[in-house]
Amino acid sequence: MDLVRNLFGSTIGRKLLMAVTGVVLIVFVIGHLVGNLQVFEDPDRINGYSHFLQSLGPALWAARIFLLVCVALHIWAGTVLAIEARRARGAESYAVKKWIQATVASRYMRWTGYVVLAFILYHLAQFTVGVAQPGTFKANLPHYTMKGAYRVLGVEVVRAGTDVLDVRSMVILGFGNRLVAVFYIVAVGLLSLHLLHGADSLFQTLGWRNHRWARGLRVVVTVFCAAYFLGNLAIPGAALLGVLH
């Protein structure tokens, strides 16, 4: 089919796949961060939120599979494009290389991408599967009893008195390992740098960019990335400083 061939087989098609999957992943990381920031509130909040997500069952798995497909497509398209680009450059490279206006973030997309991938794998191993740091994994910690109900849009989704996994303690104890906390901070810093180019670049790929609002877009993306970094820095940062306990 022409549509599939053009989308997966052409350079522009693959860039479109990168942009669209990038949008999905950006929306996910924003939601993920907003949800996680509940760790700063009463333990009922983050633990109730986590129990609610777990209770979604098949819907949770559908979301997980959708996100994994997006990550896989993003990596596949990026890898193919990078291999093609290297081949396109030819055997001989320039003796003098000079960047004219490429942003710093744009020059290290592959490298920041590698670190983000390693981070995602560790993050899943630590907080979802429990392979890394099993001693502080939620399933191995005493359960938490909800003091009040957890509501989503005013609807009660977790009742008071429910026995739930203690996600809040897992996060705080997990970041008790300073090396892990520092790795998280570095990784989300590089993810923010990845997004600094990616979130701007995707508008160009989708064809929704021109010089008139490029500057405004740049400002919005920069503010977003800075806010995203600070939000993500807050959790391991607070654990390191002993603010979260």
Partner 1 sequence: MTTPKTFNVTVRVWRQVGPGREGRFVEYPARGVNPDMSFLEMLDVLNDELAARGEEPIAFSHDCREGICGTCSLVINGKPHGPNHGVASCQTYMRSFRDGDRIVVEPFRARAFPVIKDLVTDRSAFDTIQQAGGFITARTGSAPEANAAPVPKHVADLAMDAAQCIGCGACVAACKNSSAMLFVASKVSHLGLLPQGQPERDSRVLAMVSTMDGLGFGGCTNQYECSAACPKLISHDFIARLNRDYTKAVFRSAFKPEPAGGGET
Binding mask 62-101 for partner 1 (x = CB under 8 A): -------------------x--xxxxxxxxxxxxxxxxxx
Strand partners, 155: 152
Q: What is the nearest approach in angstroms of partner 1 to the Cβ of residue 139?
A: 42
Residue 89 token pair: 């450059």
- Residue among 17 and 191 whose Cβ is closer to partner 1: 17
**Residue placing its CB nearer to partner 1 in the complex, 187 or 202:** 202
For 211-244, the DSSP string reads HHHHHHHHHHHHHHHHHHHHHHHHHHHHHHHT--
Burial class (CB in 10 A: 0-12, 13-18, 19+), 81: middle
CB atoms < 10 A from the CB of 177, how many? 16
- Site string (2-31) toward partner 1, x via CB under 8 A: xx--xx-xxxxxxxx---------------
Counting residues that bind partner 1 (by CB under 8 A) gives 49
Which tokens go with 74? 């993003």
Q: Helices 109-123 and 58-89 sit at what angle, rounded to 10 degrees?
A: 150
> Which of 117, 124, 206, 244: binder of partner 1 (CB under 8 A)?
206
Give the span between the Cα atoms of 44 and 166, in whole angstroms.
9
Q: What is the CA radius of gyration of the chain?
A: 21
Kindly tell me which of 107 and 143 has the beta carbon lying closer to partner 1. 107
**At closest approach, how far in Å is the CB of 203 from partner 1?**
8
Q: Which is nearer to partner 1, 93 or 242 (CB)?
A: 93
Which of 32, 33, 71, 106 contacts partner 1 by CB under 8 A?
106
Rounded Cα distance between 113 and 17, Å, is 16
Interface with partner 1, residue 114, by CB under 8 A: no
Nearer to partner 1, 14 or 51 (CB): 14
Site string for partner 1, 172-201 (x = CB under 8 A): -------------------------x--xx
Select from 59, 111, 208, 223 the one that contacts partner 1 (CB under 8 A): 208
Q: In the set 79, 128, 145, 210, which binds partner 1 (CB under 8 A)?
A: 210
Round to whole Å and give the CA distance between 227 and 243. 20
Q: CA dihedral in degrees (31, 33, 39, 44; nearest 10)?
A: 10
What is the contact surface with partner 1 in residues (CB under 8 A)?
1-3, 6-7, 9-16, 81, 84-103, 106-107, 109, 197, 200-201, 203-211
